[in-house]
Amino acid sequence: MGIGVLFVGFFLLSCVVCVKGVEPKASPTCTFPAVYNFGDSNSDTGGISASFVPIPAPYGEGFFHKPSGRDCDGRLIVDFIAEKLNLPYLSAYLNSLGTNYRHGANFATGGSTIRKQNETIFQYGISPFSLDIQIVQFNQFKARTKQLYEEAKAPHEKSKLPVPEEFSKALYTFDIGQNDLSVGFRKMNFDQIRESMPDILNQLANAVKNIYQQGGRYFWIHNTSPFGCMPVQLFYKHNIPEGYLDQYGCVKDQNVMATEFNKQLKDRVIKLRTELPEAAITYVDVYAAKYALISNTKKEGFVDPMKICCGYHVNDTHIWCGNLGTDNGKDVFGSACENPSQYISWDSVHYAEAANHWVANRILNGSYTDPPTPITQACYRH
């Protein structure tokens, strides 16, 4: 397997109650001057591409018309968050070229985990930039940009830097944890995975506390996706036993683990609200939103959720999206389908832009959040 396959192929995408979103009428819209994001490939806007091998075409060509550092044909949920808040798309912290941090920065990298892993990116695609490192990077970013801002003598020197006073007014978003499950499925039994969850979630809570101690007050925390509904889970499966899959083709046991992770995450968020009394913390049920789409694909205008738009997958030959391989002695390219907007799965792991947009519309309006308020009201404590 080539490095390109590893870099893209193993960056796994980084559900409890569905409630109807309610827009508070008495409260004005929150004005977030910036967004700071922490996560994995679900929300990486160029970090892993800047650090290692760039994500190739046809990634990015649907919306950006070129590779954009995203594991998608176009925009990710974090991009729709920026649009909803009338902010520019987030520049990756690790990208040294063409960046603008005036309205936030993105510390997410494909393959990131909450808990640091003793693996290299060349083995299983696990990023060296685990959540604790992303927080260290944020701390350095905050201190360094403050220094540069204060030293700047001309307005144009400050134009791409965050205003120091605005860090306390920014929205801090987290979309990470799925790769911790991925590592668990590879290395542990289910009992061991369950036992690891409190430590993993405490590390996430510590990241939130770090930012809170520095003045951050507004947090938007995604739970993990329905892991068992990624088509890649079935690539090398033969003679699938009865009861292994649910009615939509998802691996039942993996989704049970993801649901347990999300239950514990929600409990930890509730505890955080008492530990950080001045914080407004929103728990976002991405699992429920994505599963709602998966279970209603035809009604919503999508093809079978287990069909893949980009890549070549025939029998036991699997050529990753954007990679060149061989099948029966012939060169084959992992190309994209003609209509990505009809697909949930872009490359068997990551969602296509249309599916990301569908999910974003339903989480950003508060339909799948606790408290059930839209992101434009996420500065209010409930």
User: Which tens digits make up the pLDDT trace of 86-98?
Assistant: 999 999 999 999 9
Nearest to 322 by CA among 70, 47, 15: 70
Q: In the 3-class helix/strand/coil scheme, how is the chain assigned residue by residue?
A: CCHHHHHHHCCCCCCCCCCCCCCCCCCCCCCCCCEEEEECCCCCCCHHHHHCCCCCCCCCCCCCCCCCCCCCCCCCHHHHHHHHCCCCCCCECCCCCCCCCCCEEECCCCCCCCCCCCCCHHHHCCCCCCHHHHHHHHHHHHHHHHHHHHHCCCHHHHCCCCCHHHHHHCEEEEECCHHHHHHHHHHCCHHHHHHHHHHHHHHHHHHHHHHHHCCCCEEEEECCCCHHHCHHHHCCCCCCCCCCECCCCCEHHHHHHHHHHHHHHHHHHHHHHHHCCCCEEEEECHHHHHHHHHCCCCCCCCCCCCCECCCEEECCEEECCCCEEEECCEEEECCCCCCHHHCCECCCCCECHHHHHHHHHHHHCCCCEECCCCHHHCCCCC
Sequence-ordered list of residues with C-beta below 8 angstroms from that of 218, at least 6 positions apart, any chain: 30, 32, 169, 170, 171, 172, 279, 280, 378, 379
The CA-based dihedral angle spanning residues 330, 336, 337, 341, taken in that order and rounded to the nearest 10 degrees: 170
| pLDDT above 80 for 144 | yes
The pLDDT of residue 316:
87
Place of tokens 């559900």: 15
| Whether residue 1 has pLDDT greater than 80 | no
Burial of 345 (0-12, 13-18, 19+ CB in 10 A): buried
b/e code 160-188 from CB counts within 10 Å (16+ = b): ebbeeeebebbbbbbbbbbbbbbbbbeee
pLDDT at 4 over 60: no
Q: Which residues of 84-94 are buried (b: 16+ CB within 10 A; e: fewer)?
A: ebebebbbbbb
Contact 229, 246 (CB under 8 A): no
pLDDT of residue 20: 40
- Give the pLDDT band of residue 23 (cuts 50, 70, 90): very low
Q: Please, which pLDDT band fits residue 8 given cuts at 50, 70 and 90?
A: very low
* Domain parsing of the chain, residue ranges: 3-377
pLDDT at 106: 98
Does residue 19 register a pLDDT over 60? no
Locate 121 and state its tokens.
Answer: 């990116």
Q: What is the mean pLDDT of the chain?
A: 93
Single out the catalytic residue among 347, 348, 357, 370: 347
* CATH fold for domain 3-377: Rossmann fold (3.40.50)
Residue 11: is its pLDDT beyond 80? no
The confidence score (pLDDT) of residue 368 equals: 98
Q: Which residue's structure tokens are 């009861």?
A: 243
pLDDT grade for 26, boundaries at 50, 70 and 90:
low
- Does residue 204 contact residue 131 with C-beta atoms inside 8 Å? yes
Residue 350 is a catalytic residue: yes
pLDDT of residue 288: 98
pLDDT score at 208: 98
Name the active-site residue from 14, 40, 41, 370. 41
Spot the catalytic one: 103, 222, 318, 350.
Answer: 350
CA 357, 360, 364, 368 torsion-angle sign? positive
- What is the per-residue pLDDT for 382? 80
pLDDT one-digit tens code per residue, 239-279: 899 999 999 999 999 999 999 999 999 999 999 999 999 99
Average pLDDT over residues 154-164: 95
Number of neighbours of residue 304 by Cβ within 10 angstroms: 15
18 pLDDT above the threshold of 90: no
Q: Which tens digit of pLDDT belongs to each residue from 167-196?
A: 999 999 999 999 999 999 999 999 999 999
Q: According to the model, what pLDDT value does residue 293 have?
A: 98
Burial class of residue 356 in the structure, from the number of CB atoms within 10 Å of its CB (0-12 exposed, 13-18 middle, 19+ buried): buried
pLDDT in tens, 291-349: 999 999 999 999 999 999 999 999 889 999 999 999 999 999 999 999 999 999 999 99
Whether residue 13 has pLDDT greater than 70: no
Name the more confident of 80 and 23: 80
Q: Is the pLDDT reported for residue 68 higher than 50? A: yes
Nearest to 15 by CA among 293, 355, 241: 293
Instruction: Calculate mean pLDDT across residues 212-240.
Output: 94
